[in-house]
Amino acid sequence: MTVWDRPEPPPPPVPLDRERIVAAAVALADEGGLTAVSLRKVAARLNAGPMRLYGHLSTKDELFDLMVDAVQAEILPDTQPGDWRETLRVVAHRTRRTVLRHEWLADLLGGRPTLGPNGLAVTETQLAALDGLADTDTVLRAVETVGAYVIGALRREVANLRAERATGLSKRDWQRAHGPHVTRMLATGRFPALARAVHDGTEVDAETSFTTGLDWVLDAVATRLPRPPA
Amino acid sequence: MTVWDRPEPPPPPVPLDRERIVAAAVALADEGGLTAVSLRKVAARLNAGPMRLYGHLSTKDELFDLMVDAVQAEILPDTQPGDWRETLRVVAHRTRRTVLRHEWLADLLGGRPTLGPNGLAVTETQLAALDGLADTDTVLRAVETVGAYVIGALRREVANLRAERATGLSKRDWQRAHGPHVTRMLATGRFPALARAVHDGTEVDAETSFTTGLDWVLDAVATRLPRPPA
DNA sequence: TCGGGGTCGATACAGTGTATCGCTATGAGA
DNA sequence: TCTCATAGCGATACACTGTATCGACCCCGA
């Protein structure tokens, strides 16, 4: 073997730490979705063999947890907003922006308890905003309810986004979009209310839809706060 | 080779159809979760090779869609309940029971648009219940909002259920349950409202929590219906 | 300089979804 | 009834997954 056919020396291995691993995983997921995240590919990005990761993680699910917590940092508001309602609204909208930036987050949100530092910080922000406005149990219920709505709404939004993308830029044409299947279904007459809704419904953009539902839920919360802020 | 060591003849292959395939997949998922569903195992249950399934499915995701639609049949109420509120409540509770019977459903719900016959039937039921009580857009918004809450709440409920199961029957001891990690976090003093909430909060069972939040959301919907039923 | 201990990561394994394509079994034509 | 073409089925193969194992290497103490 001469110098000429000696293979390129491998790049010097990067010293690993959780932060770097998670950053690489997030980058991969942003580019190709959750399924593009494999321990081999993450390790390859760091010029390492797969097993090196196991010094810092014990399982792939743990990596997912760390990824979720990492991007949850983007949810925390930079400045404390005004009243409780504004706080919950801002957190919800920042959650939405984060999910749209990292679509894979929709697949993970709500799938496991979020106990990382950033996840706890988000919860802390919400609880602090409602602190003193009602008894602890009501406050907890409020945060849970709003959180449930946000997760469900964002999952649906991303699901629709992907479906539209997959069937080729189809916006409101539900029917044509998802192939003749749905059209045929609606034509059977077994779903009259649904058919009418599809026919009469206005096309509303996802953000408005999200905001409207959120306001409804926030109204519901407001009703349960016995001590409105002065 | 003699007759004695001739291997057992394979059982006669079952004639396949979608229904049988989906039933086998659902059974596997009920027993071992979504990860226990592999095309090979599903096929094995039907005494078939893996590729036989591809005559009836084109991809594994399609199988998941069919599984979701299959169990959604359990959500449809047997008898039409009274007013719109009762209808939405019943559908929500039946959804919850279905998710608890098939925990894997929590992983799939909201992940893709539900366009199967049963999924459409569920939507139809909800829309029909609200038909005429408000303009189409408001009705759609109402169904979406309630649906988002239900999906989010059930995902969290199942996530907590699994976490409790994994850390060994730990109920409300969040802190001890998830190891010293959360305890340490709370002890840092960075999450005062959260610490207080964990300390003061009453233990409420999941069903009550679900029902309470649901009632809040239904109240919010009621506010937007201009024409209350006579 | 030698020996021992501890860690790191290459190799190996059991399993995945699915593309490919040789075989078989059927049906038509003579 | 015999022959041949064809169409579809499913065994085999492939690329890839997460992770257990364990041999090799390196560093430190003697």
CA distance B40 to A139: 48
Take residue B56 and report the two structure tokens written for it.
Answer: 């009836």
Task: Say how far A46 CA is from C3 C1', in Å.
Answer: 35
Tell me whether residue B228 is in a domain: no
CA geometry: angle at A140 spanning A134 and A143, to 5°?
Answer: 105
Between residues B164 and A207, which one has the greater pLDDT?
A: A207
* Average confidence (pLDDT) over B13-19: 73
CA distance A14 to chain B (A): 28
Clarify whether residues B109 and B33 are in a common domain.
Answer: no
Clarify whether residues A177 and A201 are in a common domain.
Answer: yes
B212 shares contact with chain A (CB less than 8 Å): yes
Take residue A222 and report the two structure tokens written for it.
Answer: 């407001």
Per-residue DSSP letters for A95-151?
HHHHHHHSTTHHHHTTTS---SHHHHHHHHHHHHHHTTSS-HHHHHHHHHHHHHHHH
Q: What's the one-letter identity of residue B230?
A: A
Of the candidates A148, A67, A122, the one whose C-alpha atom is nearest the C-alpha of residue B156 is: A148
Query: Which one-letter DSSP state was computed for residue B21?
Result: H
Last residue of some domain: A28, A58, A88? A58
B73 shares contact with chain A (CB less than 8 Å): no
Domain that holds residue B22: 1-58
CA distance A159 to chain B (A): 5
* Average confidence (pLDDT) over B115-139: 95
Other CB atoms within 10 A of residue A96 CB: 20
Q: How many domains is chain A partitioned into structurally?
A: 2
Clarify whether residues A99 and A209 are in a common domain.
Answer: yes
Chain B residue at shortest CA distance from A195: B124
CB A113 to CB B151 under 8 A? no
Last residue of some domain: A9, A24, A58? A58
A172 touches strand D (CB under 7 A): no
Tell me whether residue A122 is in a domain: yes
Chain B residue at shortest CA distance from A129: B193
Enumerate long-range contacts of A53-56, CB under 8 Å, 24 or more apart: A53/A16, A53/A21, A55/A16, A56/A16, A56/A17, A56/A18, A56/A21
* Whole-number pLDDT of residue A3: 42
Does position B220 have pLDDT exceeding 80, yes or no? yes
Share of chain B above pLDDT 90, in %: 71
* Whole-number pLDDT of residue A192: 95
- Residue B131 contacts residue A193 (beta carbons within 8 Å): yes
CB A191 to CB B150 under 8 A? no
B40 touches strand C (CB under 7 A): yes
Tell me whether residue B193 is in a domain: yes
Does position A2 have pLDDT exceeding 50, yes or no? no
Tell me whether residue A191 is in a domain: yes
* Whole-number pLDDT of residue B9: 45
CA distance A91 to chain B (A): 16
* Whole-number pLDDT of residue A176: 55
Chain A residue at shortest CA distance from B194: A124
Tell me whether residue B230 is in a domain: no
Task: Say how far B12 CA is from C27 C1', in Å.
Answer: 25
Does position A51 have pLDDT exceeding 50, yes or no? yes
pLDDT digit string (tens) for B128-157? 999 999 999 999 999 999 999 999 999 999
* Whole-number pLDDT of residue B81: 74
Clarify whether residues B42 and B128 are in a common domain.
Answer: no
Ramachandran area for residue A109 (φ above 0: left; ψ -120 to 50: alpha; else beta): beta
Task: Say how far B51 CA is from D8 C1', in Å.
Answer: 12
Clarify whether residues A216 and A117 are in a common domain.
Answer: yes
Tell me whether residue A18 is in a domain: yes
A40 shares contact with chain B (CB less than 8 Å): no
* Whole-number pLDDT of residue A186: 86
Last residue of some domain: A58, A84, A106? A58
- Residue B70 contacts residue B28 (beta carbons within 8 Å): no
CB A178 to CB B220 under 8 A? no
pLDDT digit string (tens) for A59-117? 999 999 999 999 999 999 988 778 999 999 999 999 999 999 999 999 999 999 999 99
Clarify whether residues B87 and B187 are in a common domain.
Answer: yes
Clarify whether residues A86 and A161 are in a common domain.
Answer: yes
* Whole-number pLDDT of residue A9: 44
3-class secondary-structure state, position B18:
helix
Tell me whether residue B229 is in a domain: no
CB B144 to CB A156 under 8 A? yes
A144 shares contact with chain B (CB less than 8 Å): yes
CATH number at residue B1: 1.10.10.60
Sign of CA dihedral B89, A107, A176, A212: positive
CATH number at residue B218: 1.10.357.10
Contacts of B113 in chain A (CB under 8 A): 159-160, 163, 178
* Whole-number pLDDT of residue A7: 41
Chain A residue at shortest CA distance from B131: A193
Contacts of A208 in chain B (CB under 8 A): none
CA distance B16 to chain A (A): 22
Clarify whether residues B46 and B80 are in a common domain.
Answer: no
Clarify whether residues A37 and A95 are in a common domain.
Answer: no
How far out from the chain centre does Cα A221 lie?
23
For B30-84, the three-class secondary structure string (H helix, E strand, C coil) is HHHCHHHCCHHHHHHHCCCCHHHHHHCCCCHHHHHHHHHHHHHCCCCCCCCCCCH
Mean pLDDT of chain B: 88
Of the candidates A223, A218, A186, the one whose C-alpha atom is nearest the C-alpha of residue A201 is: A186
pLDDT digit string (tens) for A159-217? 999 988 887 655 555 555 566 677 888 889 999 999 999 889 888 899 999 999 999 99
* Whole-number pLDDT of residue A1: 45
Clarify whether residues B40 and B117 are in a common domain.
Answer: no
Task: Say how far B55 CA is from D10 C1', in Å.
Answer: 10
Tell me whether residue A195 is in a domain: yes
Clarify whether residues B109 and B145 are in a common domain.
Answer: yes
pLDDT digit string (tens) for A131-146? 999 999 999 999 999 9
Quickly tell me which residue has 């919400």 as its tokens.
Answer: A126
pLDDT digit string (tens) for B48-66? 888 999 999 999 999 999 9
Clarify whether residues A188 and A112 are in a common domain.
Answer: yes
